[in-house]
Amino acid sequence: TTNNIAEYRALCAGLNYALTNGLTDLHVVGDSAMNMAQMRRRRPPRAPHLRSICAQCRGIADRVHVCTWNHHLRAFNEAADMLANIAMDDRKSRQ
């Protein structure tokens, strides 16, 4: 679905930021249980339309050496969730 694609794009953007800025040995925390589980298990998604973006994230994650993948509830991430919803509505980034 569209929100799963958006979650993976956001993950790739964050990982690219880390790569560009020389950040390594990362502990990634996200509010998408699906993304965190798929990245942690190193298994591609069942949905064909998510496989390439998941592989792209995995490639970047391996380069920056992600140590852990952890999920936390979206309720504890209200500010980021609000910005993500605004960006989806406007189709623009709000960094």
Is residue 12 within 8 Å of 60, Cβ to Cβ? yes
Per-residue pLDDT tens digits for 60-69: 999 999 999 9
5-48: pLDDT as tens digits: 989 999 999 999 999 999 999 999 988 889 999 999 888 899 99
Compute the CA torsion angle 13, 84, 26, 18 (nearest 10 deg). Answer: 30
Q: What is the pTM of this model?
A: 0.77
Give the domain ranges of the chain.
Answer: 2-90
pLDDT tens-digit series, residues 69-93: 999 887 777 776 777 778 778 765 5
Q: Which residues make Cβ contacts (< 8 Å) with residue 61, sequence separation at least 6?
A: 15, 26, 28, 39
- How far is Cα 79 from Cα 17, in angstroms, rounded to an integer? 19
Specify the CATH superfamily of domain 2-90.
Answer: Ribonuclease H-like superfamily/Ribonuclease H (3.30.420.10)
Q: Which two tokens stand for residue 79?
A: 């500010």
